[in-house]
Structure 1
């Protein structure tokens, strides 16, 4: 008996677009004060998130939770950026 390591030929991998969407979503939440940067990161993250989610469903890959979390973070980043702008404008003109 030898110790031979047997691996499967079919490895299910994480989708990289889902990971990019999650990272950009988190960065958009962190940078929501700089409104344009946060919104730009959120839009790019949303695009990657929806593309990644589509690929996950089509090719039976891992990463669906990451894509959904990334999309949610991106929407939250957009919401926070717009709310901070509204509060800033209200504070300036009050």
Structure 2
């Protein structure tokens, strides 16, 4: 599976309540279950009017189908080419 970064433009996203986020998660989980293919929603981050999600699946079209079934946007879908963090400095 490939890892993808998904950007969703949602006005007022930063003001969503925990209850609203829980409902979005339920909707997303149901959409994942309906796909019938390997799919893993890793995590999501809310920042301003955007939600950034990390998902794993075979291709970008499956990400877009998940969004269609869930009724939420997928404004930008990008394959994650690599990951690194502070621990990476020690491997050079």
**TM-score, with length taken from structure 1:** 0.27
Return the structure number with greater relative CO, CA threshold 8 A, min gap 6. Answer: 2
Higher relative strand content: 2
**TM-score, with length taken from structure 2:** 0.27
Higher relative helix content: 1
